[in-house]
Amino acid sequence: MRLRDLLTFNLFLQLTDGVVSHQAFALGAIEANPLVAAAILNWGVVWGLIYNKALACLLLLLIFALRRNRRLLATRGLSVTASVYMCAIIVCLWQLLR
């Protein structure tokens, strides 16, 4: 898989995580991450999620920017973040659908 594909997949996962999180909050779930919970408390669900997802996307773009000098590090970084978010989304969906 090319680095650009990994970046695109990671950005898609961020969007998916934001939508799933919004749906979970609408059903009464609470945020486990204290940083995200603080942003949601201060700015509301929508703006708190947008802020945190935008920050996550900027960090993904920073990892992608490393590809010129540290290609292996960028590939592993994007692979790990995709794996973690896939697991998180699967667990979230499992919790919502049970």
Q: Where are the domains of the chain?
A: 3-97
Nearest to 12 by CA among 44, 48, 63, 53: 53
pLDDT category at 12 given cuts 50, 70, 90 is very high
- Average predicted confidence (pLDDT) for the chain: 88
> Over 90: is that where the pLDDT of 86 sits?
no
Between CA 95 and CA 69 the distance in angstroms is: 41
Phi-psi region of 30 (alpha: psi -120 to 50; beta: other; left: phi over 0): beta
Band of the pLDDT at 40, cuts 50, 70, 90? very high
pLDDT at site 96: 75
The pTM is what?
0.83
Give first-to-last CA distance, the chain, whole Å: 33
Predicted pLDDT at 51: 94
